Amino acid sequence: MRQVKANELSAIVFDQIASGFFLNTGNGTENNTMIIGWGGLQFIHGRQCFLVPVRESRHTYKLLNENGYFTISIPLHDMKEQIKFAGTISGRDVDKWQGHGITKAEAQIVNVPIVEECELHIECKVISQADMLDAALESETRARCYPKGDLHRLYMGEILSCYYTK
């Protein structure tokens, strides 16, 4: 394991996010992973943060609201099949950690898992959250990204730890 400073991750985050990252959280009894393709590094309130958007309809939304911590696991090798699976199946219906090439591992600081197969991990504590406002969206973005009106809640997580495991 090798620690890395959050400000050294911007190129990796921008290069990899379109392919999808694993967003992991839990509430002490159950854990879930899902895929995010939006969000990223931020500097706000004098802190290095990671912004994650989660729709209310997602199982992760409930778990994240109950716990207030999350991890981001970034694969630096091909995990297209695992990303496709985790991005299309709900954690309400299936334990994504069992038999799908996505292995739950212990994080360094927070009480939610990381994805063992990924090489880079970011651990965060939610410091603020805000619901997107339909009236504040430009019409093109609303039509393209929210045709059903299912807007995201934006979670700002202070980065507590960043590290490579491989």
Answer yes or no: is pLDDT of 117 > 90: yes
Q: What is the pLDDT of residue 3?
A: 94
Q: For residue 141, with 0-12 CB atoms within 10 Å meaning exposed, 13-18 middle and 19 or more buried, which class applies?
A: exposed
Q: What is the pLDDT of residue 137?
A: 82
Task: Using pLDDT thresholds of 50, 70 and 90, give the confidence band for residue 130.
Answer: very high
Tally the residues of the chain: 166
The average pLDDT across 14-25 equals 93
pTM over 0.85: yes
Q: What is the pLDDT of residue 149?
A: 82
The most distant pair of C-alpha atoms in the chain lies apart, rounded to whole Å, by 45
Nearest to 64 by CA among 28, 17, 18, 37: 28
Q: What is the pLDDT of residue 85?
A: 95
